[in-house]
Structure 1
Amino acid sequence: MINIRLPDSLGCTVASTGVILSLIKSECFDEIHVFARHPELVSHIPGIILHDVDNHSQIDLDLREYTARRPHNSKPYRASYLHMLEMAEASFGLTLPIIIPTIHLSVADNSFAIKELSKYKKPVIWLQSKTTSRNRDWSAENWLKLMERLSISFDFIDLSNTEFTLLQSLAITKHSFAGVCLDSFLVHGSAAVGAKNVIVLIGSSRSECMTYPGQKIIYKKSACIAQPCGMHGYYAGCKKEHEHLFSMNNCLHRNIFACMNKIEISHVEEQIQKLFATTLK
Structure 2
Amino acid sequence: MSNSKPTLYTSPSPALLDLYDINNSIVVIIDVFRATSTIATALYNGAKCIIPVDSVAKCIELGKKIEAVTAGERDGKIAEGLSYGNSPFEYSKEFIDGKTLVLTTTNGTKLLHMALERGSQHIITGSFPNLSAVCDYLIQQKQPVLLGCAAWKDRVNMEDLLFAGAVINQVKDHFTINCDSSGIAETLYKNAKSDMYGFIKEKNATHYQRLTNFGLEKDIRYCLTPDLANVLPFYEEGKLVVHNSTDNWQ
TM over 0.5: no
Higher CA-based Rg: 1
TM-score (norm 1): 0.28
Flag the structure with more relative contact order, 1 or 2, with Cα contacts below 8 A and sequence separation at least 6.
2
